[in-house]
Structure 1
Amino acid sequence: MRKSVARALAVVLAASSALTVAARPAYAVDLPTGARSLESVNVPGFYLRHADYLGSIAAVGPGSSAQAKSDATFTVTPGLAGGVGCVSFQAANGMWLRHRDYRIRLETNAGTATFLADATFCVRDGSVGGSVRLESFNFPGRFLRHRDHELWIDPSTTNPDTFAGDSSFRVGTPWVAGRRSPVIKGLYADPNIAYLAGRYYIYPTTDGYNGWGGSRFKAFSSTDLVNWTDHGTILDLGPQIGWADDRAWAPTIAYRDNRYYFYFSGATNIGVATATSPTGPFTDPLGRPLIAAGFRSGQMIDPAVFTDTDGQSYLYWGNGHAYAVRLNADMVSFDAGQVRTFSLPNFREATFVFKRNNIYYLTYSVDDTGSENYHVEYATGGSPFGPWTHRGTILAKNLSLGIKGPAHQSVVRAPDSDTWYMAYHRFAIPAGNGTNREVTIDPMRFNADGTIAPITPTL
């Protein structure tokens, strides 16, 4: 059973410091989130960067090495410790800028209250128009500044003639692209990726609700897996589905005879809606669940459809128990007497089947979606019903990059190729949990024997 998991990171600061931060006036400057590079105001051409895990400023230009450009690019995120107008800086390797003994350095997020506060800086006006200064969250009055090209947090009374310039940076375009994900901006999970009508589509769970209580499904499309168009709500359980109005989870889609069939979890039932377009509008042809709660053991959630090369479609689903059945030609019914049950090691949920070179691959998620250990395992077989040979883990957390709980996967093949991608969710970075997740995509690679090489989760 799914369990609501609330894992808020508690940041404990002295009451006097908290009051000081809260009392500060609003500032005109803004440091937008996303990939950014910061140039020193009083040493033009020198950029905030890290080297050997220590912060400094260094010359970076068009002819600089790729490594130097990467070292001078940071992904700006909302402050790890919170605070209005406060930010944190993540490097390409997933580590974070923080101060320790007042020196700026790059370290892995330890998740402690001290680390989160040390890695949070509040944006203030710089010494020249359009520039910013970065005040320490937990040491008010100390600012990030360069001293002999090294980065420290120092009080503003230090070297008053040059301090304002030493602590001011112009915010510029990044030297490199920086973090490329989440591919869909915002909180989403359980992505079903498909190639339909000449475009890639992602159909996710809309996330961020306690108890996973959302009611709406959205669709996003892309031609390149990088730039995504938001098509808005394509199905709203409350007004459009008479038998469910919450827990809109883990949809999937299939195409047959000029119609699209959208299968979804609603109030722990599985429903189906149809449309003539991959973005709807979708309507309920049954007026009832396709698979009602209690139909079999476990939760009746997480549908996925696989259509074989002979045109036969199969529906997979389950939480705690894995099920599958052939769909009838109408795509909205099946023979209940033909439902199969699979025994899969460590299975929790999110079965997704695809076929490559006459091998059937059944991928699935292990552990709880609220656990940082949520991950993907898989099995192979000779038919859509197996029998299945367990092959092990192919996607798991990477704490050095801050990646937790990567799973609830789906797979797509680029058209006319042997290029494959896995879409999945993970805890939102930097401070997500099991109900605050984000969607990303990584390439898949296959070994010569047809097994799947471990997928490297990336930022």
Structure 2
Amino acid sequence: MDRRAHLLAVSFLVVASTLALPQPASAATLPTGARSLESVNYPGRFLRHADYLGRLDPVSSGSSSLTKSDATFTVVNGLASPSCYSFQAANGMFLRHRDLRVRLEANTGTPEFRGDATFCPADGSVTGSVSLVSFNFPDRRLRHRNFELWVETFQDTERFRADSSFRLTAPWTPKNTKGPVIPGLFADPHIAFFNGRYYLYPTTDGYASWSSPYYKAFSSTDLVNWTDHGVILDHGPDVSWADNSAWAPAVVAKNGRYYLYFSGGAASGDTAKHLGVAVSDSPTGPFRDALGKPLVPARAYPGQAIDPMVFTDDNGQSYLYWGNGAAHVVPLNADMVSFDPAAVRTITTTGFREGSFVFKRNGTYYFMWSENDTRDENYQVAYATGPSPLGPWTKRGVVLQKRLELGIKGPGHHSVVQLPGTDTWHIAYHRFAVPGGNGTNREVTVDRMTFNADGTIAPIVPTL
């Protein structure tokens, strides 16, 4: 069944309450980010977890901080479908149903778990409320019975409709940290500036073996408030040669169009990855596969064909960088979708693992990369400088690394953006989701990047 087939195209508004929220951006979506869910027929009782089981309990301003935290969830894109939703607790675990009982568990990444932890919205029993339909069992809805949470077969009765209806309210425990900048599990962010807006293109995270099949785009004018533009490329219907492993996208504007470079794998059992390129007339897509085949086939060069990045020099020449285990670069042809294989150069530096990124400042070229493994809390960013987009490169050291005193682990696979006409720079990167993340449960954040008087990059301090 198509991944989007489970979307229930319904329309609702989130009502005002004592904990008022803005209305969702479009009628077919829930607002993402930190939220609480209040029962329609038991006002003052909220969906929460206690001893890892889903319940409906009273919550008020006088409740303990633990109770408030247990009644707060981050609404994220559904683990099984970007058209539906999942609910992540502060400890990083997800609400899911098992044996029809709703409980809180760590994401195993299996198809069963992802489906059991995904719910699709339908109209609730009163205006402004929502009912949550099981992705795996579309005839069942989340409901409370004796204040316990279950998924049960829908009954068209007044009692069932009320028991399965909730109002989304502001969170009892608002997130008081700066990041992540986009709610949910994302990684490998590519940040760019087009037409007066910042854009983020991340890997969708939270999948076993990083097997996500699609990419999304987000945009902002201030790097704080981000608009979700939805899925811009889905390997399932949009790419004939790839089904999964939608990793590390990078987008560049050229020739009046936008080019999306991406990694992809097939479900054939071959774990090798290819690099592809897609094109669109808009930075928010939809993108279409430009070639119908990989731009860089697996095994054509040493290392994995993943983590593409494109740098365009002042003379208009664009260069494609990629690689895991070995770093490669090649000038792109003017069409942006081809190159001369004889021109490929290997530029692997000491400590290089993956995540190439190149930019130019004051005549100096900067080549940055990630070291160690993304599952390692010691994942970090290092860089070198050189006189051309091809090097030679002189390593300058590590500039971004973990801060265990804040619970920040594995900061890396970054990208850099300059506000045009200024010397203001920002770095986007992922880290283990705070506090319960790991190498497949990561989140995206943005920090300032500054330079010393000699042009070296000042140590980047990762923040919450």
Same structural fold, with TM-score higher than 0.5 when normalized by the shorter chain: yes
**What is the correspondence of 1:33-52 to structure 2 with a 5 Å cutoff?**
none
Which of 237, 254, 259 in structure 1 is aligned with 2:257? 259
- Which residue of structure 2 lines up, in the alignment, with residue 242 of structure 1? 240
Counterpart residue identity of residue 78, structure 1: A
CA distance in 2, matches of 1:173, 1:79: 9
Deviations 1:91-130 (A, max 9, x none): xxxxxxxxxxxxxxxxxxxxxxxxxxxxxxxxxxxxxxxx
CA distance in 2, matches of 1:178, 1:275: 37
Deviations 1:294-321 (A, max 9, x none): 1111100000000011111000000000
Partner SS, residue 244 of structure 1: coil
- Which residue of structure 1 lines up, in the alignment, with residue 443 of structure 2? 438
CA distance in 1, matches of 2:262, 2:433: 23
CA distance in 2, matches of 1:307, 1:447: 24
CA distance in 2, matches of 1:441, 1:183: 7
Aligned length: 312
List structure 1 segments (4+ residues) > 4 angstroms apart after TM superposition. 22-25, 81-84, 171-174
Counterpart residue identity of residue 58, structure 2: A
The structure that has the greater radius of gyration is 1
Identity %: 59
CA contact (8 A) 2:92 2:437 kept: no
Q: Which has the higher contact order (CA 8 A, sep 6+)?
A: 1
Instruction: Quote how far apart the aligned CAs of 1:83 are.
Output: 9.8
Mapped pair 1:382 → 2:387: yes
Counterpart residue identity of residue 203, structure 1: Y
- Which residue of structure 2 lines up, in the alignment, with residue 27 of structure 1? 57
CA distance in 1, matches of 2:433, 2:52: 26
Instruction: Quote how far apart the aligned CAs of 1:22 are.
Output: 6.3
Instruction: Quote how far apart the aligned CAs of 1:291 are.
Output: 0.2
Counterpart residue identity of residue 29, structure 1: V
Which of 295, 317, 330 in structure 2 is aligned with 1:290? 295
User: Structure 1's 423 and 81: CA in aligned 2 closer, same or farther, altered over 3 A?
Assistant: closer
Partner SS, residue 221 of structure 1: strand
TM-score computed with the length of structure 1 as normaliser:
0.65
- C-alpha RMSD of the superposition: 2.3
User: Structure 1's 344 and 197: CA in aligned 2 closer, same or farther, altered over 3 A?
Assistant: same
TM-score computed with the length of structure 2 as normaliser:
0.64
User: Structure 1's 80 and 256: CA in aligned 2 closer, same or farther, altered over 3 A?
Assistant: closer
Mapped pair 1:363 → 2:368: yes
Instruction: Quote how far apart the aligned CAs of 1:24 are.
Output: 9.2
**What is the correspondence of 1:26-425 to structure 2 with a 5 Å cutoff?**
26-29=56-59, 78-80=89-91, 178-267=176-265, 268-425=273-430
- Which residue of structure 1 lines up, in the alignment, with residue 19 of structure 2? none
User: Structure 1's 286 and 173: CA in aligned 2 closer, same or farther, altered over 3 A?
Assistant: closer
- Which residue of structure 1 lines up, in the alignment, with residue 21 of structure 2? none
Deviations 1:177-198 (A, max 9, x none): 8301100100000000000122
CA distance in 2, matches of 1:265, 1:223: 28
- Which residue of structure 1 lines up, in the alignment, with residue 167 of structure 2? none
Partner SS, residue 57 of structure 2: coil
Partner SS, residue 287 of structure 1: coil
CA contact (8 A) 2:92 2:433 kept: no
CA contact (8 A) 2:92 2:436 kept: no
Counterpart residue identity of residue 319, structure 1: N
Counterpart residue identity of residue 424, structure 1: Y
CA distance in 1, matches of 2:210, 2:348: 27
Counterpart residue identity of residue 238, structure 1: G
CA contact (8 A) 2:383 2:399 kept: yes
Deviations 1:22-78 (A, max 9, x none): 689630327xxxxxxx7x69xxxxx99xxxxxxxxxxxxxxxxxxxxxxxxxxxx93
